[in-house]
Amino acid sequence: MSLKSERRGIHVDQSELLCKKGCGYYGNPAWQGFCSKCWREEYHKARQKQIQEDWELAERLQREEEEAFASSHSTQGAQSLTFSKFEEKKTNEKTRKVTTVKKFFSASSRTGAKKVAQEKNLKQGQLGRERNADNILRDLKEIFTPSWELASPTEEIQEAKAPSPSINRQASIETDRVSKEFIEFLKTYHKPGQDIYKQCKMFLEAMHHKRELSIEEQSECAQDFYQNVAEKLQTRWKVSPERVEKAMDQIEKYIMTRLYKYVFCPETTDDEKKDLVVQRRIRALHWVTPQMLCVPVNEEIPEVSDMVVKAITDIIEMDSKRVPRDKLACITKCSKHIFNAIKITKNEPASADDFLPTLIYIVLKGNPPRLQSNIQYITRFCNPSRLMTGEDGYYFTNLCCAVAFIEKLDAQSLNLSQEDFDRYMSGQTSPKKQESENWSPDVCLGVKQMYKNLDLLSQLNERQERIVSEAKKLERDLIDWTDGITKEVQDIVEKYPLEIKPKNQALAAIDSENVENDKLPPPLQPQVYAG
Amino acid sequence: MAAAAPGGRSFSFKVVLLGEGCVGKTSLVLRYCENKFNDKHITTLQASFLTKKLNIGGKRVNLAIWDTAGQERFHALGPIYYRDSNGAILVYDITDEDSFQKVKNWVKELRKMLGNEICLCIVGNKIDLEKERHVSVQEAETYAESVGAKHYHTSAKQNKGIEELFLDLCKRMIETAQVDERARGNGSSQSGTARRGVQIIDDEPQVQSSGGCCSSG
């Protein structure tokens, strides 16, 4: 397609006269080569886009201004000066990069938007390298590609959480807050701080291009980054180990807040499927009692049940955190509550023999959301030194153990017979029903009452059934009885049939024969004598 | 990297504690870190994860001791616990033959999973109950030697042999770490160090109460 200069009008080919959208009508250079109808459509879309973009830009500018204002206020003198300069330089750099990166984007065809990309390339070809068509090209690209794909890297990174401001407003605010804090924090590190900032930016940009790699490769990159930065801080900047650790925490927070969305439970893995499997598994195991797991926690003590509830809350809360370290902190908090519960019950420090079963029990009761995803995410993107030897690492390992145990749990591991286990799993019976008499440990009052009422109801039901069956029996008896009587009567009637014998007449005849009766004197009347 | 000033080195080691329930794993660490036995005044909330800072010949060592659940039903979870650990303490009860058999199982597993990089200590606990001994000293020591482990006798109750056990283990782990480091090439500690679990940190000596103090949390 050698469509060079329609505007200069040296070689005007038939095809060039047609509308660029390929609708078959003729285009007009005044409408950027579109026909009137297509032009109006495109123009309208582009305008809308432009308005939205302007709005975003204004918002960002304001934010930056605020930031600059805040930083110039908080620290005065040379330091803040250098820092804002550094910031300025950074922004300049960003703007310079915009064009090249954009080219990169338009060239790469994204899997999700292959069709879009093809269309885009076509448009590009037609528009060629016409300078005056650049604007429309940009507009078009905006129209045909999702905004996040098109954004410059800086926008992308700054608003990694907020492709469109209205949707993810909340996340964007958090991201901004985190980066503000990060910058504030780095100021205390002076020169190395600037270096760290630069490194992080570079890393985030690099990660952006690696989004299509497998999650393991991305994890590898993150781990390498942690290691390189830590090493650099130690060897080049001679920062003390404590401060390195602090800085590493902040770096982790900064980069992971930004990357979270892309690397947590990514579509390329089956993390989500595993989550669902675990969730279903835990639901199926709802009948497991603390006694079966030998949990050394007595929930009848109010303080203990309080601790258990807190532990469950903590482990559920883990999913809401974005930074691996914050997630680990939730696990640690949960573990501390478990230890407290054990300590109150047993009055001695908890060993792993006590702790692991209790943690398993808490996980079973809490059924924390996206358990596998969270574990995978922490394993892949947490600063490794923390996972290796630290206390957080220990509790995290225990959580992994708990999940592994729950996945593989069988009759033997609960000291149950296979038949019992199968029956409980299929939901035919529940161990709770059987021991409802001494049933109380881990239920709130309402549930306890409910179980009692259920018991009562089943008793009543039984009685009712008995009454009904008795009544039926009675009815049957009555029917039988009447039948019996009827039969008996019939038998008797049959046996002794009623015969009207002429004898009766004979008797009358006897009387009638007594003719002289009327001749007899009347019978004596009783007489009263006065005496 | 190799030319670190004495006192400027610090090692972080992870040590797992393995053994059947009731062999006294917990008592052992509590005795070591808190110097208490079955005491109502034990301040620590838990005895499953304890740390101890040591100073061995100018080398600072951070020891993280990971207790593991010893019940049979959790046996399969072992590898998750002892991944990346530098040392393992395998405890058995000298009055309980079964617990010694368990130790043998653990050793086999550990060697299979971690090879020779892990320092193994086999510990016969409860030597205060010598009269009821069911595992012969000879047998235990021969076995330990055959698998490249060291054997110790301890009593958490009487506080015997515990200090020695941990000190010895630390020395061996330092040695292993140094050999490992040398093998990896001088100085160019590229990726791998931190991720393999041993962190060798060069730093300025700082004032810190070393040795004896235990902090968890």
pLDDT tens-digit series, residues B140-161: 999 999 999 999 999 998 999 9
Three-class DSSP category at A27:
coil
Within 13 Å of residue B122, how many CA atoms lie on the same side as its CB? 27
Residue with tokens 């879009």: A116
Is pTM beyond 0.80? Reply is: no
Alpha helix (H) ranges present in A108-133? 114-127
Start-to-end C-alpha separation, chain B: 30
Helix (H) / strand (E) element for B53: namely strand B49-56
Alpha carbon distances (Å) from B136 to A172, B94, B140, B152: 67, 8, 6, 13
B203 touches chain A (CB under 8 A): yes
Cα–Cα distance between A88 and B182 in angstroms, integer? Answer: 45
B 17-36 → A contacts, CB under 8 A: 17, 21, 25-26, 30
In chain B, residues with a C-beta closer than 8 Å to the C-beta of A349 are: 26, 30, 42, 44-47
- Minimal-distance CA residue of chain A relative to B195: A384
Q: Are A410 and A422 in contact (CB under 8 A)?
A: no
Q: Are B150 and B144 in contact (CB under 8 A)?
A: yes
In chain B, residues with a C-beta closer than 8 Å to the C-beta of A408 are: 76
Q: Are B142 and B181 in contact (CB under 8 A)?
A: no
Cα–Cα distance between A361 and A371 in angstroms, integer? Answer: 15
Pick the more confident residue, A426 or A160: A426
> For residue A148, what are the contacts with CB-CB under 8 A and spacing of at least 6?
A156, A163
Given the cut 0.85, state whether the ipTM is greater than it.
no
Residue A234 has pLDDT above 70, yes or no: yes
Of residues A390, A404, A412, nearest to B80 (C-beta): A404
B146 touches chain A (CB under 8 A): no
> For residue A438, what are the contacts with CB-CB under 8 A and spacing of at least 6?
none
Strand-pair category, B9-18 with B59-67 = parallel
Portion of chain A with pLDDT greater than 90, in percent: 26
In chain B, residues with a C-beta closer than 8 Å to the C-beta of A401 are: 69, 74, 77, 80-81
Residue A389 to residue B199, Cβ atoms within 8 A: yes
Residue A389 to residue B197, Cβ atoms within 8 A: yes
Beta-bridge partners for B91: B123
pLDDT at A432: 63
pLDDT at A42: 78
In chain A, residues with a C-beta closer than 8 Å to the C-beta of B69 are: 352-353, 355-357, 401
Q: Are A124 and A137 in contact (CB under 8 A)?
A: yes
B74 touches chain A (CB under 8 A): yes
Three-class DSSP category at A421:
helix
Q: What is the CATH number that goes with domain B8-178? A: 3.40.50.300
Pick from A329, A453, A340: nearest CA to A386: A329
Residues A269-321 have pLDDT tens digits of 888 899 999 999 999 998 888 888 889 988 888 899 999 999 999 999 999 99
- pLDDT, averaged across chain A: 76
Cα–Cα distance between A145 and A138 in angstroms, integer? Answer: 10
Pick the more confident residue, A189 or A138: A189
Residues A453-510 have pLDDT tens digits of 999 999 999 999 999 999 999 999 999 999 999 999 999 988 887 777 665 555 555 5
pLDDT at A147: 42
Question: pLDDT band at residue A377, thresholds of 50, 70 and 90?
Answer: very high
B191 touches chain A (CB under 8 A): yes
The crossing angle, in degrees rounded to 10, of helices A78-107 and A114-127 is 90
Question: Helix, strand, coil proportions of chain A in percent (round to 5)?
Answer: 75, 0, 25
Alpha carbon distances (Å) from A331 to A310, A315, A328, B161: 12, 6, 5, 35
Q: What is the mean pLDDT of residues B211-216?
A: 43
Beta-bridge partners for A271: none
pLDDT at B147: 92
Residue with tokens 């606990």: B125
Residues A235-260 have pLDDT tens digits of 888 888 888 888 888 899 999 988 89
Cα–Cα distance between A178 and A175 in angstroms, integer? Answer: 5
